[in-house]
Structure formats: structure tokens, C-alpha cells
Amino acid sequence: MPGTRAQDTDAPKTIFRSDRICRVNGEFYFNTREGTQEGPFETREAAEQEVAAYIQRMMLLAKPPAERFEAPREPISAGPVPVGAAECNEAAIFP
């Protein structure tokens, strides 16, 4: 764990946290647990929004593939056919 040494087995486990967002040359970046630095972003708010989106993506990818996408709860209807729309049939496609 970060903040402890391997030889400190008796020491309580401590995790040091820091702000994920940093500013470099006037641009904002955020650091990930995976060790990457994402950015640049023009504003701190934009970086914070992307942090939230990044976390959601990582949580989604952590799920098994079968659970990543939920099936629609109700069938999706295309709605009524507009007046004057041509019917689609083989005769119209293949004369």
C-alpha cells in the first residue's frame, strides 16, 4: 500500500490521498490510480467533470462483459409510419 514500507509489518496501514487534479503550465490534468495523467483541460471544472466520467468508465469496465449493458426494459418502437412513406418490400427493392 502507498505510504508504508514492506519491513513495516507492525505499523498501521496508512493510505495517503492527494488532490487528483493538478495544474501544469496553466492547464489542468488529473492523475489516475492506474498511474496515468489525463488532460489537458482548460478549466478545473472541466477536469472535475472528466474525473467523474473516467470513474464511471472504470467502474463499467470492472463489471463482467455480460453485465456491462442492460437490455431495454420495454421494446423500442419505431413509432407510426409517416403519411406518404413508401412501403418497403422485395418487389420495390428488386424489380
What is the residue-level pLDDT of the chain in tens, covering all 95 positions? Answer: 455 556 656 656 555 556 789 999 999 999 998 899 999 999 999 999 999 999 999 999 998 888 877 665 665 555 555 555 444 444 444 44
Distance CA 38, CA 32 (A): 8
| Alpha helices, DSSP H, located in 1-95 | 44-62, 65-68, 90-93
Distance CA 45, CA 68 (A): 28
Distance CA 40, CA 28 (A): 5
| pTM strictly above 0.85 | no
